[in-house]
Amino acid sequence: MDDSEFDVIEQYFLPLGEWSLGDTRVGPGDDCAVVQVPDSRQLCISTDSFIEGVHFPTGANGQLVARRSMAAAISDLAAMGATPFGMTGALTLVAVSAPWLKQFSSVVADLIKRWQIPLLGGNLSRGSELSVTWTVMGLVEPGRYLLRSGAQADDDIYISGYPGRAGYALAGVLQGREVAANLEKHYSHPTPRLELGKLINGLASAAIDVSDGLLADLQHLLTASGVGARIDLASLSDDVELFAACGQADGVRLALTAGDDYEVCFTAPIEQRKVLKQISEQLQLPLTRIGKIIQSKVVEFENVPRQFDPTTLTAQPGYRHFK
């Protein structure tokens, strides 16, 4: 690193390390950060990279990159039912742009407080491609975490929030179309479902972070659990705003396959329906029951809209960004 790199770190990133939850003994700036881990806790850890032109559009502003990348990374903690504990970030810049860095760092400063996840350290490099890699850590009580592998036959399958809205908004942005604010915000201001993850921890039988599309990520949950699913496609049209904007066939397709939501897909025994309804009301967050787990290792669809061909789904399992 040379002086300009240290200047960027000092100006934009070292101040972000000053906020902590009280556990930080050494913040960013030494060889390592040091944090006190509460006794009798297990640490959940996940790492995610976000690359310009792959995970966000080329030329995206610093706010969007910070918001979407942080939400996506922290969404993995939500899906484990973990409480955020800290994160590190590795940023690779093609060039030093003060406005971009100001946008990026001010959103990070805001979100680490909003989502209560201190920035413990970072790395700044120059490269030929803009990217950011977040490593997030959370805490759970011993053994109390949500896995992908616990779904049982007859369990209900739920999806949180508004699957498909972010994908609809992204398509609009890329095509230069105007998108209603109530749909657009799910792309530009995604929210990791941290409160939900904690509330369903202990009552859900399995959970997965949705980031590659509902159907693709549900498939990972089904594989890990050794089961199948019957999906009621009519349940997806509960999102009347999305369906009004794009029609039934596109609405179903987006809700099932768009890889731009950071929602939680989870399963729970039927007897939890009442509690989950209360949680949904408490959080003012839709928890849509989209189907049920079946023993047979297949995915079946019910109430298929007339204009929609479900065989196209197998050729499009989420967002493909790897050749």
Other Cβ atoms within 10 Å of 282 Cβ, number: 11
Closest CB to a copy of itself among residues 42, 237: 42
Sign of CA dihedral 194, 267, 262, 42: positive
Residues 241-260 that bind a copy of itself (CB under 8 A): none
Is beta strand 83-93 parallel, antiparallel or unpaired with respect to 119-126?
A: parallel
* Window of 80-88, 107-115, 167-175, 290-298 that interacts with a copy of itself by CB under 8 A: 80-88
Choosing from 12, 13, 17, 48, the residue that interacts with a copy of itself (CB under 8 A) is: 48
Per CB under 8 A, does 98 bind a copy of itself? Answer: no
Q: Tell me how far apart the alpha carbons of residues 162 and 157 are, in angstroms, rounded to a whole number.
A: 15
Residues 257-316 that bind a copy of itself (CB under 8 A): none
Residues 143-202 that bind a copy of itself (CB under 8 A): 143, 145, 147-149
Closest CB to a copy of itself among residues 7, 300: 7
For residues 13 to 32, the per-residue mask of contacts with a copy of itself, x marking binding by CB under 8 A and - elsewhere, is: ------------xx--xxxx
Residues whose CB falls within 8 Å of the CB of residue 50, separated by 6 or more in sequence, listed in order: 56, 65, 68, 69, 72, 131, 132, 133, 134
Q: Least separation, in Å, of the C-beta of 179 and a copy of itself? A: 26
Q: Tell me how far apart the alpha carbons of residues 286 and 60 are, in angstroms, rounded to a whole number.
A: 29
Query: Is 185 buried (19+), middle (13-18) or exposed (0-12) by CB count in 10 A?
Result: middle
Closest CB to a copy of itself among residues 25, 306: 25
